[in-house]
Structure 1
Amino acid sequence: MSTPVEETVSADDFAQIRAQVREFIREEVVPREREIADSDAIPDDLRSKAATMGLFGYALPQEFGGLGLVITQDVELAFEFGYTALAFRSLFGTNNGIAGQVIAGFGTAEQKKQWLEPMAEGACLASFALTEPEAGSDPSGMRTTATWTGEGWSISGGKRFITNAPLADLFVTFARVKGTEAEGKIAVFLVPAGTKGLTVGPKDRKMGQEGATTADVYFDDVQVGADALISGEVETGFRAAMTVLARGRVHISALATGLAERALDESVRYSAQNLQGGVPTGDRQLVQAMLAEQQSLVMASKALARDAARHYLDGSDRRIAPSAAKLFCTEAAGRAADLAVQVHGGSGYMREVAVERIYRDARLLRLYEGTSEIQKLIIGRELMRRERASGA
């Protein structure tokens, strides 16, 4: 069993935080979804408001300026973030999630002091540079290398689909080590933007999630000091990646659930107002059946995401539960989005209608933080490992 994590924010205080986030999302972000999509960017005033509310550091430790929310509380906020354009959450999601958790959970005291406070303030935007053309959900194919020079490290290689890369101030970078006794192991380094030899490619054009910026990142003999190595130990890298990705999968599960709930609400609203032959389409049994399926998917997803978060928090399951939740909830979100388009009929295929965006946004959820296929492999392998262990 992994080490449990203690809550630092009381239930009453968190209830106020969630209420404020919910109001902000629904009253200020939802009405501007079309603006976000058309401009393919998050408006500056929304970014500033998110920073003022502490959203860039809600899951970072309080001692470094964060709110200190634990994963069970993170999940409740993710339900709210998923209710609007997923690009908004993407702006600060990496700071709180896979990048920030590497530093918070595995960084040295100096690394935490240098980076976490500006990240929590929103003054520093971090990117998680793991994915490569030949190393996506499975990092074993990683080609980026970090060679020990005697005084520091030289990093060379390329990363793909890196969230916030064009905006990032810091790249939490994974590389395969060369030139030390730990030859071939995966380590993680903190590489500031602007370091000589680090370049960011053109902004990617994507199917959906307009406003969420991704791009390739290239490292050409990028020189960093020994203090750039997370924890100061090479062996930490792979363990850090697996730990934060598991936590991230719980978060994505809740995010997907929020999106599914929005798809349901849009479907119910439309079918109550849209008339066919003078009768609301929601009065038709076939439409009601689609609404019922969406409702069931949302309820099941919420229960599973919350259950996985509790298991992660108390350390009882950080393998099967995160992957099972991520698998089910993201697939459910895709199904709920598809049903929402069907409920809307031809209108659901029109760009100005919310469910059209939801349909495209939802598709990425089954790919990042480990594809659905990878989640199945993790679950299956862990089930077999536990069976062999119990029979030994």
Structure 2
Amino acid sequence: MDASLSDEERASRDLVRRFGEERLRPRVAEWFERELSRAEARDVLRELGVLGVLGMQLSGHGCAGVPPVTYGLACLELEAVDSGIRSMVSVQGSLAMTAIDLYGSEEQKSHWLPRMATGEVIGCFGLTEPDSGSDPGSMRTTARKSGADWILDGTKMWITNGGIADVAVVWARTDDGVRGFLVPTDTEGFTANDIGRKASMRVSVTSELVLDGVRLPSDALLPAARGLGGPLGCLNEARFGIVFGAMGAARDAFTCALDYAKARTQFGRPIAGFQLTQKKLADMLLELHNGVLLAVHLGRLKETGRLRPAQVSFGKLNNTRSALEICRTARTILGASGVTLEYSVLRHANNLESVVTYEGTSEVHTLVLGQALTGLDAFR
């Protein structure tokens, strides 16, 4: 891939890769085994803030404004360590910070973004609800006027960073349609309950958000966000990062399987010398490089303002599906060793079961492509 990247892109990628290998990978299997704590999650995000990857694709207010491919490569390197780490970064930068950057007032941007870029302030993004996942238009969370204030009631579910957030971007139904609100998490009536016993995405904090009569001042409203286009615009940014990130998990699983196959001896020779193993490795390599090439291509389109939402769905659907299959195949090469946390392959596969689902399920992205192909909406 290096021939397709500029010197600056390679340097940025290598910086994130070194950080991941030196600072994160030595601890990640332990974090996954016992689940990352709130304190540890905050520490990781502060370290990533020092590295400069939180909101790195945004411009101004303490953000670097790097091009899309540079941001995508950072996602790839972080997810090569663990999907949960990339997810924390995506929620912070591509969802919470992007919502403020796109739809917030200048005062809101100046107040929140510089501190979020450093990891001093953590954000989360409250859209999904217990009964409203793929159909956000059916959300039940409401915001009603009370004098000059707003009163929010409702529940959000499966919220990454929810239990460690200082500010929550919450989407609610109003008399004026769906609107976005900035909710400081120390506001009376706001509660974040962490979701435990997860078999996936254990290196991140996932929470239920409960809003029980949360009173907010009028300036908590994101003024430029009206309707579902607001949250969906942010989700498209996060999906772009997933297109790259999923291939990081796939690359790590492939590399692990290749190294293991060359070292593991059966019937008097390394298993890498057997035809069936070589076929698996070759097939994995094809899908890995196809996925990375697709991600970079979509990144180049984004750099020139030509990337369409359906193309992001194309990338998310293809690369998460391919990455999961690569991880599963890698596990078969490792045999019984592949089910232990000594190796990364099953941890990546478990995580990707969530990545395939969140930011739009495979079924939803399939129908997005079907609509783009036929001009007919099959969602309802």
SS in 2 for 1:204: coil
Shift of 1:31: 2.2
Q: Match of 2:262?
A: 272
Within 5 Å, which residues of 2 pair with 1:105-184? 105-178=102-175, 182=176
- Residues 123, 196 of structure 1: alpha-carbon distance in 2 compared, 3 angstrom cutoff: same
SS in 1 for 2:200: coil
Tell me which residue corresponds to 1:245: 235
Please say if residues 92 and 125 of structure 1, whose CA atoms lie closer than 8 Å, have aligned partners that are also in contact.
Answer: no
SS in structure 2 opposite 1:58? Answer: coil
Contact kept, 8 Å, 1:166 with 1:203, in 2: the verdict is: no
Please state if 1:284 is matched with 2:283.
no
Aligned to 2:318: 328
Which residue number corresponds to residue 49 of structure 1?
47
Structure 2 alignment gaps of length 5 or more: none
* Alignment deviations for residues 267-317 of structure 1 (CA, whole Å, 9 cap, x no partner): 100000000012100100001111111101111101111122222332323
Deviates more, 1:10-19 or 1:302-311: 10-19
1:162 shift after superposition: 0.5
Whole-Å Cα distance in 1 between the matches of residues 303 and 371 of structure 2?
A: 22
What is the TM-score of this pair, normalised by structure 1? 0.89
Partners of 1:288 and 1:77 lie apart in 2 by: 30
Select which of 67, 86, 90 maps to 1:70.
Answer: 67
Q: Is the 8 A contact 1:247 1:312 kept in 2?
A: no
- 1:173-227 CA-to-partner distances (Å, cap 9, x unmatched) read 001113xxx2xx2111111111111111233321122221101001111111221
Counterpart code for 1:165: G
- Cα distance in 2 for partners of 1:350, 1:260 equals 17
Partners of 1:233 and 1:47 lie apart in 2 by 28
Q: How many residues end up aligned between the 2 structures? A: 370
For residues 13 and 291 of structure 1, the distance between their equivalents in structure 2, rounded to whole angstroms, comes to: 31
Which SS does the other structure have where 1:57 is aligned? coil
Is 2:252–2:344's contact at 8 Å kept on the other side of the alignment? no
> What's the CA shift string for 1:220-243, capped at 9, x where partnerless?
11111221111x2562x4222121
Shift of 1:43: 6.8
Could you tell me whether the CA contact under 8 Å between 2:338 and 2:345 is conserved in 1?
A: yes
| 1:375 matched to 2:365 | yes
Offset of 1:244 from its aligned partner?
1.5
Paired with 2:116 and 2:348, the residues of 1 have a C-alpha distance of: 29
Letter paired with 1:220: D
CA contact (8 A) 2:12 2:70 kept: no
> TM-score when scaled to structure 2?
0.92
Cα distance in 2 for residues equivalent to 1:113 and 1:307: 33
1:201 is matched with which residue?
Answer: 193
Deviation at 1:12, TM superposition (A): 4.5
Structure 1: gaps spanning 5 or more residues: 1-9, 388-392
Same amino acid, percent of matched pairs: 31
The one-letter amino acid of 1:322's match is V
CA RMSD of aligned residues (A): 2.0
Distance 2:42 2:108 in 1: 28
| Distance in 2 between residues matched to 1:91 and 1:73, nearest whole Å | 18
1:390 is aligned to none
Distance in 1 separating the partners of 2:293 and 2:111: 38
Contact 2:55 2:98 in 1 (8 A): no
CA offsets, 1:38-69, max 9 Å, x none? 342247764443222112232232x2111212
Match among 14, 23, 31 for residue 19 of structure 1: 14
Higher alpha-carbon deviation: 287-296 or 314-323: 314-323
Q: Distance in 2 between matches of 1:129 and 1:355?
A: 30
Structure 1, 324-333 or 104-113: larger mean CA deviation: 104-113
Cα gap change, 1:358/1:155 in structure 2, threshold over 3 Å: closer, same or farther? Answer: same
Which amino acid letter does the alignment assign opposite residue 145 of structure 1? T
Describe the superposition over 1:299-354 as per-residue Cα deviations: whole angstroms up to 9, x where unpaired.
11011111222223323232211000000000001100110111111211224322
Q: Residue 186 of structure 2 aligns to a residue in which SS?
A: coil
Q: What is aligned with 2:181?
A: 189
Letter in 1 for 2:346: E
Q: 2:297 aligns with which of 297, 304, 307?
A: 307
Please name the residue that 1:317 is paired with: 307
- Select the residue among 56, 59, 64 that pairs with 2:57: 59
Amino acid across the alignment from 1:199:
T
**1:298 aligned to which of 262, 271, 288:** 288
2:8 and 2:257 mapped to 1: Cα distance? 33
Structure 1 residues 234, 254: CA separation in 2 closer, same or farther (over 3 Å shift)?
A: closer
In the alignment, residue 97 of structure 2 is paired with which amino acid? G
